[in-house]
Amino acid sequence: MRLPLGHFVVALGALCVAVLVGLLRGDTLFAPAAGLAHVHLVLVGWVCLTIAGAMTQFVPVWSGVRLHSTRLAGVQLALLAGGLAGFAAALLAGAFAPLPAFAAAMLLGFWIFVYNIARTLARARPFDVTERHFAYALASFLAVSALGVSLAAGFTRPDFLPVSRVALRGSHVALALFGAVLCTVFGALYQLVPMFAQSDLDAFDRRLQRLEETVYPLGVALLAMGRLVGIAPLARLGGLLVVGGVLAVAVVLARRLADATVSWGPMLRRYAVLPVAMGAWAAWTLPVWLARPLAYDAAVGAPGSFSLLVLGVVGFVVLGTLYHVVPFIVWVHRYSDRLGFEAVPTIDDLYVARVAHVDFALLLAGTALLVLVTGGVALPAPLSRAGDALVAGGVALAAANLLLVVCRHAVAPAVSARFGSLASE
């Protein structure tokens, strides 16, 4: 239990630092590369560390096999956290010389993670739809970390890069966001949404699922390759397939959530944002990728769509999942063996529901404002600056709510028991 919780706690800490850097990145204290540090703190520190912790915990559960090595999972956390901390600090200070070393530490951490989960998945046959998506994601993690080291080396040795920096960056972004992150997200959602909405996929949903699984991974590969070698038609076809896959998942999620037969908690409320955000991103991005698939400002979709995709899709699914996963792990560790012998709280009793309502409202409003501002909509000055503050407030409340679960129900009882045993001795 300590390993996934350790990943989640470090990831929440990285998110809080990322929000702080996002608020202050225009300050003269930070180097011009602060924006790059902010992106890596969000995607590597928050999203990828959460993915690593979640796969460590739940791949064995979903696949019905034992984790290959808990020791390797601990090593991956140390390498990823240490490498990211050094990488972000170097970017914020404008010191580029140590970047390759810190990027290499993250590469080693990701490759250990991939090896550990791949060895675990290898025992599960045949693969279901979730396991296949995880396999696609693991392959993307291998490639994107290797490209990341090349990009880091290019800061100090531009002649080291075999292709242009723009091409390498475009491929890196495609593999990172659409391969490693969204393949994991889609695979998990195919399990989590039907499970927690108590709404099974019907025949139409399964046809869409098969369509997405056919076109989406191929689209990611074509988009990344087309950008890397500078072939616009190849990248255009890949982008078209990626958008189609995203739309297929959005329709499946919307249909399952509409048929939910249970009350809506923090998890499902956050998941409900996903179909809307995914549909809006796809409609906004498709014409841009058809016209300019290799453009520098279209790496994550239409210019200005970063907040819509990263906060509106990835952010809400990660926070929604954490609102179940963190209390679930703590509940199993603290209360499962006492069930039936005494009154125990439910999983939803471990966090403060009112705080969850407030952080959801703040994040939703903040994300909407950031999308409008980055999309070029003219807003009054106070509103144009309020998006970052609202997101920061929502993140702080969500992190505090989840960390309080750990402190009150896992750390505090353990410390109390330890001191009690010392006193009896």
Tell me the average pLDDT of the chain: 89
How far is Cα 208 from Cα 204, in angstroms, rounded to an integer? Answer: 6
Q: Which of the residue ranges 3-7, 172-176, 221-225 would you say has the lowest mean pLDDT?
A: 3-7
Q: Which of the residue ranges 109-113, 192-196, 212-216, 274-278 would you say has the lowest mean pLDDT?
A: 192-196
Whether the pLDDT of residue 420 is over 80: the answer is no
pLDDT of residue 112: 97
- Phi, psi (rounded to 5 degrees) for 396: -60, -45
Whether the pLDDT of residue 26 is over 70: the answer is no
Rounded-to-10 torsion of CA 76, 78, 84, 90: -140
Whether the pLDDT of residue 44 is over 50: the answer is yes
pTM over 0.85: yes
Whether the pLDDT of residue 23 is over 90: the answer is no
pLDDT of residue 419: 45
Q: Before 266, cis peptide (omega within 30)?
A: no
Q: Which of the residue ranges 155-164, 165-174, 288-297, 346-355 would you say has the lowest mean pLDDT?
A: 155-164
DSSP 359-416: HHHHHHHHHHHHHHHHTT----HHHHHHHHHHHHHHHHHHHHHHHHHHIIIIIHHHHH
Amino acid identity of residue 106, one-letter, is M
pLDDT of residue 379: 77
Cβ(147)–Cβ(175) below 8 Å: yes
pLDDT of residue 422: 41
| Structure confidence by residue, pLDDT tens digits, 95-116 | 899 999 999 999 999 999 999 9
pLDDT of residue 123: 86
| Structure confidence by residue, pLDDT tens digits, 351-374 | 999 999 999 999 999 999 989 888
pLDDT of residue 423: 42
Q: Which of the residue ranges 2-11, 67-76, 115-124, 202-211 would you say has the lowest mean pLDDT?
A: 2-11
Whether the pLDDT of residue 84 is over 90: the answer is yes
pLDDT of residue 281: 96
How far is Cα 12 from Cα 185, in angstroms, rounded to an integer? Answer: 18
**Averaged over 115-138, what is the pLDDT?**
91
Give the model's confidence band at 334: pLDDT under 50 very low, under 70 low, under 90 confident, else very high.
confident
